[in-house]
Amino acid sequence: MTLAIRGEIEEARASGRRPNFNGRDLSGSDLSGLDLSGVDFSYALLTGARLHRANLQGAVLWSVKAIAADFSGCNLRGANLATADLTRSNFRDSDMRRTNLTGATLRGCDLRSADLRDAKTENTVFDDILTDSSTRR
């Protein structure tokens, strides 16, 4: 599936369009290391997806369901994750500066060494999260 997704992204960008995975079921996909900047994942299912070290800068992940997804080491600067269900996801070592997390659920997430400076966190659920002295908020 990763090759098909990579192909869709390259095709959209070559034709000057913004890649769009709105509402798609990408559960369990391995998108690690891909340049997904600006991609629209609104309402997508990303449960169990692996996005380790992916570039998601400015991506739209509005209302995604990404339970137990791996966002470790990701660039999520300026991404929109408002109202997303991110329960038990891994954001360790991720750059989440200026990320919109308004109304998102981050229950049981790993935020160790994550950088959340200037993130919008109104009505965000941060229950049972893992942090350390390197987590910045």
Which residues are registered as beta bridge partners of 75?
A: 55, 95
Determine phi and psi for 84, rounding to 5 degrees: -80, 150
Are the CB atoms for 69 and 51 separated by under 8 Å?
A: yes
Which residues are registered as beta bridge partners of 20?
A: 40
pLDDT above 90: residue 132: yes
Per-domain residue ranges of the chain: 1-137
SS (H, E, C) 90-125: ECCCCECCCCECCCCECCCCECCCCECCCCECCCCE
Phi and psi based region of residue 133 (left: phi greater than 0; alpha: psi -120 to 50; beta: remaining): alpha
Average per-residue pLDDT for the chain: 96
pLDDT above 70: residue 1: no
pLDDT of residue 3: 78
pLDDT of residue 5: 86
Which CATH number is correct for 1-137, 2.160.20.80, 2.30.110.10, 1.20.1300.10, 3.40.50.10190?
A: 2.160.20.80
Report pLDDT digits (tens) over 16-72. Answer: 998 999 999 999 999 999 999 999 999 999 999 999 999 999 999 999 999 999 999
CA distances from 101 to 4, 16, 50, 94 (A): 29, 28, 20, 14
The model's pTM: 0.94
pLDDT of residue 2: 72
Question: Token pair for residue 123?
Answer: 């009505």
Length of the chain: 137
pLDDT of residue 13: 87
